[in-house]
A and B are shown apart, each in its own frame.
Chain A
């Protein structure tokens, strides 16, 4: 089992790290956006909330792009079929990919924190940083599951544009690019039902050291269950098509 996990980790890391065109933007883009917009929009005490928002934005990006796109691409390649013929449980490969994704999440969130320090002048305390990292780890689970649902449901060709189509509006609607209080009323009414808003609320509560907001935890659990159900349906459809 350990040698299998190690082999899957090495394979997943090599495949990802040898595509700098994929992981460099994933890691740098949230920090860049924060530097261009987040740092200037929320100065003073609000700055730390903006930092948390863009950290969540980085996490959701990994879920949508690293999983959404790669799951769709993998599904259409004979390599996955060959892997299924090898000994060892299939979930080990998924576990390895999630571990590698966590490393990318950590790097992307780390870059946002560095941008906060150097550009925004926002330096969260050790406790705030740790709580934010825990919140990011927590919201990475639904992010990854939503990415897998997306990748399972659509073709490889459709995955990238659809990820963009969902990810960017969801980031805006969820109040990750600007504080929810500044959103227009009509957008704010939608915002409270989006998974990104729930993720943001969890991160903001973590920064404050408040209890996780129950309403948003429940909302996020609902989105997560929806993603799992969509994945199950899509995978069943795929198995029927591929394997009869």
Chain B
């Protein structure tokens, strides 16, 4: 099966600065890949290489078998850039019609209106749109041409909680229906909700890659939280301001057994798997 994205040995420099170095990336149809990394890690540069907006200095990128940036690659792709701005004289309906025409498709305006809550805005000129409203239009435009690959750079930045949830639902449906999605986000819960697989970039290099399940399996660590009544043993960490003590352990059963064996009085015990951001923090530390 053709990969939606197949990139090998990508490298990009800006003068003396190495933005991306030796990155491999694959994404299959029906899969969502979360691209993570701190600010300035090279995520946006990598996206611009994938979308063909910038040429790579080294390496090769194919989108459904076609070179990135080629007509065939652009036909199969929709993009929401990190910073979006549109001519203030134009309405969202006109932009949707324009983007659809560029893809050679009839505009599916009604579906996009509902999906991105644009009903009220659709015939208003975009002058005076709030940041969140512009973002919603930018997201809708990525799905205009019924793309097989959606590249969305920080899709829900500036959006309210309801629109974030609506986007997550749409993204899951899109991926479930066979679409491929490459996503960057600073919202860990969004990545967790949408993506099957994660790639972490740091200083232009891929430092982690795998499914969330694989990472959880690698990091079989639970976060244990409890309130101790009376004297606490030395091996328990000091309580937070809310009186709860938090610790991490690969064997939460052993921790609880030890508490009982030592006769420690405790209550409100909570045990849950590490959140994505904590797993990544651990893995990055190991790397």
Question: Interface of A with B (CB < 8 Å)?
Answer: 3-4, 6-7, 10-11, 14-15, 18-19, 77-79, 81-82, 84-88, 242-244
Chain B residue numbers with a CB within 8 Å of A6 are 101
Given contacts A82-B79, A88-B102, contact A18 B53 (CB under 8 A): no
Q: Which of B8-34 contact A (CB under 8 A)?
A: 12-14, 19
Q: Which residue of B lies closest to A11 (CB)?
A: B98
Question: Interface of B with A (CB < 8 Å)?
Answer: 12-14, 19, 48, 51-55, 57, 71, 74-75, 77, 79, 81, 83-87, 89-90, 94, 97-99, 101-104, 125, 138, 141, 145
Q: How far is the CA of A10 from the CA of B107 in the complex (A)?
A: 15
Q: How far is the CA of A13 from the CA of B168 in the complex (A)?
A: 36
Give the residue among B13, B87, B103 with the most A Cβ atoms within 10 A: B87
B13 touches A3 (CB 8 A): no
27 contacts between A and B (CB under 8 A): A4-B101, A6-B101, A10-B94, A11-B87, A11-B94, A14-B90, A15-B87, A15-B89, A15-B90, A78-B84, A78-B85, A79-B85, A79-B86, A81-B53, A82-B138, A85-B52, A85-B53, A85-B77, A85-B79, A86-B74, A86-B99, A87-B71, A88-B102, A243-B48, A243-B53, A243-B54, A244-B19
Q: Which listed residue, A15, A79, A84, A87, touches B104 by the CB 8 Å rule?
A: A87
Q: Which listed residue, A10, A87, A244, touches B14 by the CB 8 Å rule?
A: A244
Q: How many A-B residue pairs have CB under 8 A?
A: 75
Chain A residue numbers with a CB within 8 Å of B84 are 78, 82
Q: Which residue of A lies closest to B102 (CB)?
A: A86
B104 touches A3 (CB 8 A): yes
Q: How far is the CA of A103 from the CA of B104 in the complex (A)?
A: 26
Chain B residue numbers with a CB within 8 Å of A84 are 53
Chain A residue numbers with a CB within 8 Å of B97 are 7
Q: How far is the CA of A244 from the CA of B51 in the complex (A)?
A: 15
Given contacts A77-B85, A79-B87, contact A7 B101 (CB under 8 A): yes
Q: How far is the CA of A87 from the CA of B78 in the complex (A)?
A: 10
Q: How far is the CB of B196 from chain A (nearest CB, A)?
A: 24
Given contacts A79-B85, A81-B81, contact A7 B14 (CB under 8 A): no
Q: How far is the CA of A11 from the CA of B99 in the complex (A)?
A: 11
Q: Which residue of B lies closest to A88 (CB)?
A: B102
B90 touches A11 (CB 8 A): yes
Chain B residue numbers with a CB within 8 Å of A7 are 97-98, 101-102
Contacts A4-B102, A81-B81 known; 14 new A-B pairs at CB < 8 A: A3-B104, A7-B97, A14-B89, A15-B87, A15-B89, A15-B90, A78-B85, A79-B85, A82-B138, A85-B79, A87-B102, A87-B104, A88-B74, A243-B55
Chain B residue numbers with a CB within 8 Å of A81 are 53, 81
Q: How far is the CA of A3 from the CA of B138 in the complex (A)?
A: 22
Chain A residue numbers with a CB within 8 Å of B81 are 78, 81-82, 85
Q: How far is the CA of A78 from the CA of B82 in the complex (A)?
A: 9
Q: How far is the CB of B92 from chain A (nearest CB, A)?
A: 13
Chain B residue numbers with a CB within 8 Å of A86 are 74, 99, 102-103, 145
Q: How far is the CA of A78 from the CA of B86 in the complex (A)?
A: 8
